[in-house]
Structure 1
Amino acid sequence: MYAALPMYDRPQHAAAHDALWVLIRDGLRGRGIAATDVLDRDTGHMDGWARPDLVLSQICNLPWRARFRGKVTLIGAADYGIPGVDPGYYTSVFVVRADDPATDPATCADYRLAYNEPLSNSGYGAPQLWAAARGFQFTPHIRTGSHRDSMEAVAEGRADIAAIDAHTYWVQGQIDDPLVPRLRVIGTTDATPGMTFVTRPGQDPAPYFAAIAEAIAALPARHSETLRLRGIHSLPDSAYDIPLPTPPEEVPDRQVALAVSGKAT
């Protein structure tokens, strides 16, 4: 059996996630659902979502839309209390270097984008769809592998802009990340469904939803404060009907085009 809470499971938050899993696990078992004793932190999340013995995980809405639609059961979206959005939704913040004069990402069409991976909604999908709605695409300049590495790429000048999951940036990053003072937020993407709890296909989501809701409510205050997890919300299927972004390799290199035209700055 496989269970993981991979989206925000940083080492300093492991104890809180373990405590949450014990509560969820016992709630599932009390409802007749077999659940593994401990969380799996060794299996990659893409492999984990595909496992036939998946008990519980969290999935980002872009990989669900691109690869896992119909292959997992959606249970509900995690609510991390992101300011300015409805429960169960989240946004990304656009960040530039602290000394960059930009004040609006709409004026940054020629900026080089650092992104963690092509199937990240917060780091790639959301900013590119936000830009597309305004008639342009950011140039996918550096694939970094993580939000923090994207922040570092911008801070060091290897890229000009990045979109960082608001929970990662505001809740986790600002508490303990020295990169944050070197960056400045200039806007947010549109809200989309947040990290969504899933299980293997063909399951009734109701008992899973109930077990998760009870576990969040029962989590000790010290762990609740660490995770900032406020609840779980059932979102309509239509909330996930979001176009897929243009893959990085298919986005024209605006930097090259500007250089050829003689308009590069």
Structure 2
Amino acid sequence: MTWIAALPMYNVTPALDFEWREWLADVLRMVKPACRIVEPDEELHGFWRRPNLLISQTCGYPFMHGLHEQVQLIATPRFDAPGCEGAHYSSVLVTRADAPFDTLAACRGARAAYNQDDSNSGMNVFRHAVAPLARAGLFFSAVLRTGSHLGSLRAVAENRADIAAIDCVTFAFVCDEMPELARQVRRIGTTAPSPGLPLIASGTVPPATVEALREALNEVLAAQPERAKRLRLQGFSVLPSSDYERIEELENEARAVGYTRLA
């Protein structure tokens, strides 16, 4: 079997995409399987379920909604970014730099943007933050699905939306790599934290290979500290799958007060 690998989640710019691919290539050289780094040529939910997937990164929301039954957790990155604490992260609530909103509560009747229906950082924790403020399941005047965190940031910056929840790691990379976009928005809050985006392997990957991947992650990180700094990587934690139940708890807390979707 020829293994495949991809890191599709934090490629905010072409330069970062190159850095992540180089980092992944170094990890794979240490583990030494026959493995190709690929660009997912299908919808990510299908890609993450490929039986020859050696390593990739997923969002915690799809992980808890069925994916965890078919893959193995390798590790969860620890990022150096405002809003991260250990292997946990939160989302930044942003509005336009010149918008009149200073709090989430002040955004009643405003326009929201979010990336995807199955995103923890862009939808689930956003829904959880809004839920106590909603009335009869409603809070916003309009909701726009953009397809990506960058799309949501641009929608806010271009006055097509008033507020969005942005993964704090993505937002830190935007501040590093796209400062002109970062200057067009302003933080007005932070969501509840939850475990970060996990690195996963197919259930067919031998346990010894998973252990070798964990060792390689930290060895490659230590070997090039300047690259680790650019990627904002501090290390990796091996979390039990049960830690990710926090994502379902956030969903259930919103649903319990009648706020089942961003609206």
Equivalences for residues 170-209 of structure 1 within 5 A: 170-201=172-203, 203-204=206-207, 205-209=210-214
Distance 1:252 1:213, change over 3 A: closer
Tell me if the contact between 1:28 and 1:35 (Cα under 8 Å) persists in the aligned partners. no
Tell me if the contact between 1:80 and 1:167 (Cα under 8 Å) persists in the aligned partners. yes
Equivalences for residues 1-265 of structure 1 within 5 A: 1-9=3-11, 10-29=13-32, 34-36=33-35, 38-44=36-42, 45-132=44-131, 134-136=132-134, 139=140, 141-201=143-203, 203-204=206-207, 205-219=210-224, 221=226, 223-241=227-245, 242-243=247-248, 244=251, 251=261, 253=263
Give per-residue Cα distances to partners, 1:22-73, cap 9 Å, x unaligned. Answer: 22112222xxxx241x421242432320101000001110111123121110
SS of alignment partner, residue 110 of structure 1 = coil
Tell me if the contact between 1:128 and 1:138 (Cα under 8 Å) persists in the aligned partners. no
Q: CA deviation at 1:2?
A: 1.5
Q: CA deviation at 1:250?
A: 5.9
Q: What is the aligned-residue identity percentage? A: 33
TM-score by length of 1: 0.83
Distance 1:35 1:7, change over 3 A: farther
Ranges in structure 2 where 5+ consecutive residues have no aligned partner? none
Q: CA deviation at 1:113?
A: 1.4
Task: Give the letter aligned to residue 39 of structure 2.
Answer: R
Distance 1:189 1:11, change over 3 A: same
Tell me if the contact between 2:81 and 2:232 (Cα under 8 Å) persists in the aligned partners. no
Ranges in structure 1 where 5+ consecutive residues have no aligned partner? 254-265
Task: Give the letter aligned to residue 31 of structure 2.
Answer: L
Give per-residue Cα distances to partners, 1:117-149, cap 9 Å, x unaligned. Answer: 1111111111112222x2426546111111111
Tell me if the contact between 1:113 and 1:138 (Cα under 8 Å) persists in the aligned partners. no
Give per-residue Cα distances to partners, 1:135-169, cap 9 Å, x unaligned. Answer: 42654611111111111111222211101111111
Q: Which moved more, 1:11-20 or 1:238-247?
A: 238-247
Distance 1:74 1:22, change over 3 A: same
Q: How many residue pairs end up in the alignment?
A: 245
SS of alignment partner, residue 118 of structure 2 = coil
Distance 1:219 1:174, change over 3 A: closer
Alpha-carbon distance in 1 for matches of 2:216, 2:82: 26
Alpha-carbon distance in 2 for matches of 1:148, 1:85: 19
Task: Give the letter aligned to residue 120 of structure 1.
Answer: S
Give per-residue Cα distances to partners, 1:221-240, cap 9 Å, x unaligned. Answer: 2x223211111112233321
Task: Give the letter aligned to residue 7 of structure 1.
Answer: M
Distance 1:174 1:220, change over 3 A: closer
Distance 1:6 1:35, change over 3 A: farther
Query: For the aligned residues, what is the CA RMSD?
Result: 2.4
SS of alignment partner, residue 37 of structure 2 = coil
Alpha-carbon distance in 1 for matches of 2:57, 2:240: 17
Task: Give the letter aligned to residue 97 of structure 1.
Answer: R
TM-score by length of 2: 0.83
Alpha-carbon distance in 2 for matches of 1:84, 1:181: 18
